[in-house]
Amino acid sequence: MKAESLPAPATSAERDWVEGELVRSLMRTQRSTQWLALTLVAIVVGILWDDNYPVLVLSWIALWAAVAFWRLWVIQQYQNEVRTRSTEDQIAFFRRHRLVWPMSALVWGLMTQLYFDRAPLGDQYICWLVLAGLAMFSVNSLSARVRVMRAYLDLLAGTALALMAWRMVVELRLQGPTYHWWVALLLLIFWQVLRHSGQRLHATLRRNFELQYRNMQLIESLTRQTQAALDAVEIKNRFLASAAHDIRQPVHALGLYADWLGSEPELVHELAPKIVDATKAVNQLFDSLFDVARLDSGKVKLNIEAVDVAKLLRNLELQYRPLCEAKGLRFRLHVCPGTVRSDPILLQRIVGNLISNAVKYTPRGGVLVASRSTRAGLRIEIWDTGLGIAPAHQREIFREFYKVPGHAGTEDGFGLGLYIVARLTHILGHPLTFTSRVGSGTVFRLSLQPTDPPAASERAVAVVAQMFPSRDGGG
């Protein structure tokens, strides 16, 4: 026999939402109950007017009207001020005014004084039907808040039984008709049946709202996952389209140079550098694509150790100074001794990409690479006197395949350098900021806060989970 699965435990958010919906469900029915109560009052007064002293009937009407106006005021306040507020506000409002319903039950219970053993049996029968119908209707309308429903039923039945007991024991001294006892017994049984039914109805209503909440959460989760999947497909499509577009030019150039070299081998000294440049461009694109692929697959291997920042920058100087000089740019290096806990390979990749961008987008002037000691620790800065980045594009430059429109030099790039930088700095926990002015240049500042290996690993996993949420759940 297959074991029945237990429902998942409700979260605090679910409980709050369900409580709020129960309040809303109860309040939605209250305006119609006011009209029903007014109709029943008219019926009762019409039946009992000739059976009692008018002053007693009028006193009961006045008492009912006072409670009815109180209840109507509560309903109106809810509709005007609370209905659209948060769940907490609705629950707080209901708690402040919950006594209005038991007070209404007390007034209806006092009606027993007007007819029990004081009106003809036919009139008593009609009044008992009115009271029974009112009790059953209250179970349906108040079951959303089980404590209020119980208080209503208890006060209604308790008041009626107390008045009956006064009449039977004190006034009639147990000498009244036998049917009084049967009526009291039936009222007791009816009272308990209604309490039990109300409890079950409340459980059903609560369960329905819990299922509704979980269905909404499931739909929202599926919607997010579907959108994430569509976004991932779009990213990969753009990835492939942009990669294919960017790789076409250097590969096409390689083909032209090879054909040219085959037909005119004496031009080898002129064509060889061009072939080398085209090959470097292809290799650079594949390096970037492999970096992105490793980031997206979560296969970034972290090797956190003490990194000599001055030595790292001098190694990068050997690589990028020739590029600067080839463009007629000045390359300056200012180092401050110090070490930081980080991944040396990834950190070199970050700084190298920033220097490469600076060289690429600086037509004249120069590039300064510096490490500085601050109160927060070491900081690496990359200054250039290049084109600068307009404010409209400063939030977009870290997106994959984004190229600033109209920037000289973007035709040779792939739009992946700063995307990779942003992802790696986030993983290593090295905050990156920058300032830029169009026509004056840009400065990137990399704060070398010590990398915590467990936290870095979690951030690496989180980066993948953010792009591919479906990997977090079961298959």
Question: Among 360, 345, 293, 338, which residue's Cα sits nearest to residue 315?
Answer: 345
- Rounded to 10°, the helix 417-428/453-467 angle is 130
| Alpha-carbon span 136 to 465, nearest angstrom | 53
Output the pTM of the full model.
0.51
Q: How many CB atoms lie within 10 A of CB 326?
A: 9
Residue 36 pLDDT: 80
> Is the backbone of residue 388 left (phi > 0), alpha (psi -120 to 50) or beta?
left
pLDDT digits (tens, 9 = 90+) for 291-311: 555 555 555 567 788 999 999
Q: What residues have CB less than 8 Å from 325, skipping those under 6 apart?
A: 331
Nearest C-alpha neighbor of 302 from the set 163, 430, 124, 475 = 430
**In terms of DSSP H, where are the helices of 298-434?**
309-326, 344-360, 417-428
* DSSP assignment letter at 473: S
**pLDDT at residue number 301:** 67
- From first to last of its 475 residues, the chain has per-residue pLDDT tens of 444 444 555 577 788 888 888 888 888 878 777 788 888 888 888 888 887 778 888 999 999 999 989 988 988 888 888 888 888 888 888 888 889 889 999 999 999 988 888 888 888 888 899 888 888 888 888 888 888 899 999 999 999 999 999 989 998 888 888 889 999 999 999 999 999 998 999 888 889 888 888 898 889 888 888 887 777 677 666 656 655 655 655 666 667 777 777 777 777 777 677 777 667 666 665 665 555 555 555 555 677 889 999 999 998 888 788 888 888 999 999 998 889 998 887 888 888 889 988 888 888 999 999 999 888 889 999 999 988 888 877 776 766 655 665 554 444 444 556 777 888 888 888 898 988 888 888 999 999 888 887 877 777 666 555 544 444 443 3
Report how far residue 336's alpha carbon sits from residue 128's, in angstroms, rounded to the nearest whole number: 95
Amino acid letter at 253? Answer: A
| CB-based contacts of 318, cutoff 8 Å, min separation 6 | none
What is the Cα–Cα distance from 464 to 470, expressed in whole angstroms?
10
Paired sense of beta strands 366-374 and 330-334, if any: parallel
Whether 17 contacts 212, CB under 8 Å: no
- Entry field: residues in the chain: 475
Output the CA–CA distances (angstroms, integers) from residue 122 to 110, 117, 164, 179, 288, in the order listed. Answer: 19, 11, 18, 14, 94
Residue whose token pair is 């250039």? 384
Contact 439, 391 (CB under 8 A): no
The two three-digit tokens of residue 118, written as one number: 């004081």
- Look at residue 42 in the predicted model and tell me its pLDDT: 87
> What is residue 467's predicted lDDT score, i.e. its pLDDT?
46
Q: Which of 307, 445, 305 is nearest to 381 (CA)?
A: 445
- The single residue listed with the structure tokens 């009609």 is 126
Token pair in block for residue 261: 């070299």
Output the CA angle 324-326-328, nearest 5 degrees: 70
Nearest to 434, CA basis, from 404, 472, 398: 398
**What number of CA atoms fall less than 13 Å from residue 96's CA on the CB side?**
12
Between CA 236 and CA 251 the distance in angstroms is: 22
* Degrees to nearest 5, angle at CA 149 with 147 and 152: 110
Report the run of H or E that residue 307 belongs to, with start and end.
strand 305-308
List pLDDT tens digits, range 65-106. Answer: 999 899 889 888 888 888 888 888 888 888 888 898 899 999
Residues forming a β-bridge with 384: 367, 442
pLDDT score at 382: 93
CA distance 284 to 419: 15
Domains and CATH numbers, the chain: 12-224 (no CATH), 305-470 (3.30.565.10)
Sequence-ordered list of residues with C-beta below 8 angstroms from that of 137, at least 6 positions apart, any chain:
33, 36
